[in-house]
Structure 1
Amino acid sequence: MSSIQVADQTFVAAPPAAIAELLGAANNWRRWWPDLRLDVREDRGDKGIRWTVAGPLSGTMEVWLEAVADGAILHYFLHAESTAATPLSPRAQAAANRARRVAGKDMSFEVKTRLEAGRPAGVAPATAAS
């Protein structure tokens, strides 16, 4: 089991292809995870993207897009180990996990905010595929 374990999900009322377009832009990765070096392991198009992670962490990260109703559930996973020379204390380990959960939630809320902008609650996205 990895020391850093994050699993989260957020519903986004937008087509998976629109979400995938935002996820595929490397300039967004540098903003969402500025200290990590991400290499695409598998670009799954409108199903999401998988990366290998390097830098202060070593492991894997994925955003899986599950089409649901008039949008998609954005599933975020990070499984990694610290690359620090000395093991993290339990307190530092908990703080590192929390920081990575917050970064993942910040990413998913940014995607949601950008793609749902101007859409009244309860109204299907204008860009939904027919």
Structure 2
Amino acid sequence: MSTVSGMPQVDLVEETFIAAAPALVEARIRQPAFTARLWPDLRLQVQADRGVEGLRWTASGALVGSTEIWLQAYRDGVLVHTYLRCDPTRPNAPTEAVQVSPRAAVRELQRRAKYAKRVLWELKDSVEAGRRPGESAVR
């Protein structure tokens, strides 16, 4: 699954802080429902299981390439780093990368960034439910 130009056309880097134990967040990101919600138009296959530090997948479908969630313990919670390094695919060819215009690539990146942030905030709200600002992280 190589990229068209050597660099992915959609290169998303997103970070969200969750005031919860890394193991608690790890358990949530491993649920198939979470990954299906995060990237509903991609088929993911685990490429690297990093335990409490997250997962890396190969992706095919609407995009082809890789995606990763890296969990970094930070203070009393965890930074959730989300990466999506992919190229758009040809219709009905879920592993065949196709070159798109720079404008189309930026639109796709922006659309996916907004969507990923919404899904990650839903995870944050769910994991931190009942925690008041300034209180210790959820364990």
Q: TM-score, normalised by structure 1?
A: 0.90
* 2:125 paired with 1:113: yes
Give the Cα separation in 1 of the matches to 2:17 and 2:124: 8
Give the Cα separation in 2 of the matches to 1:32 and 1:64: 14
C-alpha displacement at 1:89, in angstroms?
Answer: 2.7
Deviations 1:85-107 (A, max 9, x none): 66323332221111121222122
More strand by share: 2
User: Which residue of structure 2 aligns with residue 39 of structure 1?
Assistant: 45
Percent identity over the alignment is 37
Q: AA paired with 2:123?
A: V
What is the total number of aligned residue pairs between the two structures? 127
Q: AA paired with 2:119?
A: M
Alignment gaps of 5+ in structure 1:
none
| Conservation of the 8 A alpha-carbon contact between 2:21 and 2:138 | no
Give the Cα separation in 1 of the matches to 2:119 and 2:50: 18
User: Which residue of structure 2 aligns with residue 12 of structure 1?
Assistant: 18
| Matched position secondary structure for 2:34 | helix
Query: Which stretches of structure 1, 4 residues or more, deviate above 3 A after TM superposition?
Result: none
Residues 96-107 of structure 1 aligned to structure 2 (within 5 Å):
96-107=108-119
C-alpha displacement at 1:126, in angstroms?
Answer: 4.2
Q: AA paired with 1:118?
A: G
Which stretch shifts more, 89-98 or 65-74?
89-98
| Conservation of the 8 A alpha-carbon contact between 1:32 and 1:106 | no
Alignment gaps of 5+ in structure 2:
1-6, 92-97
Residues 1-130 of structure 1 aligned to structure 2 (within 5 Å):
1-84=7-90, 87-127=99-139
Supply the RMSD in Å over aligned alpha carbons: 1.4
